Amino acid sequence: MARFLFVCVHNAGRSVMAEAFANAAGAEAVSAGTIPQERPHPEVTEAMREVGLDVSSHEGRLLTDDLVSWADRVITMGCAVDDQACPSIRYSELEDWGLEDPKGKPPERVRAIRDEIRDRVGSLLTGG
C-alpha cells in the first residue's frame, strides 16, 4: 500500500483530518507542516469527534526531507508550500487539493471542509 504525506502550513487542520481519515481506512499516512502548531485547531477536533475520530492528541510535526522521502505521495492542502519552506518538496510528485483553511470557521463550514477531505481521501485510497 502507498504511503501518504499530507502537508499544510500549521499541521493543525486539513492535514490532520486527512491523516486521520486515511489511517482509519487502513492506509499508512502521516501529516506535517512547515510551521507546525502544538495541537489541532479546536474546531477541527470537534468536527472530527462528530464522525468518531479523536485527533485531540495529535502533535504538530515539522515537514522534513526524510518525511518527503518516506512518502509515495505527497499532498498539500492548498497552503502554498514553496521551495523556501521545504526545498525537498520539489523533488517529489506533489498534488495540491486547494482546500480552504478551517481555522476560525463556523462549525457548518468546518464540517463541509471535513466532508470534502473525507471524500478526497476515499477517492485517493480507491485509486480515483
Q: Any idea which residues carry the catalytic annotation?
A: 8, 79, 86
Report whether 81 contacts 9 (CB < 8 A).
yes
| Number of domains within the chain | 1
C-alpha cell at 104: 476560525
Q: What is the CATH number of the domain that holds 55?
A: 3.40.50.2300
Residue 36, C-beta contacts closer than 8 angstroms, at least 6 positions apart: 10, 11, 12, 60, 61, 62, 63
pLDDT digits (tens, 9 = 90+) for 4-27: 999 988 999 999 999 999 999 999
Q: Kindly tell me the sign of the dihedral angle through the C-alpha atoms of 59, 60, 65, 67.
A: positive
CA–CA dist 48, 54 (Å, integer): 6
CA–CA dist 38, 127 (Å, integer): 33
State residue 32 phi and psi, 5-degree precision: -155, 170
Report whether 32 contacts 7 (CB < 8 A).
yes
The parent domain of residue 90 ranges over 3-125
pLDDT digits (tens, 9 = 90+) for 56-103: 999 999 999 899 899 999 999 986 555 555 555 555 567 889 899 999
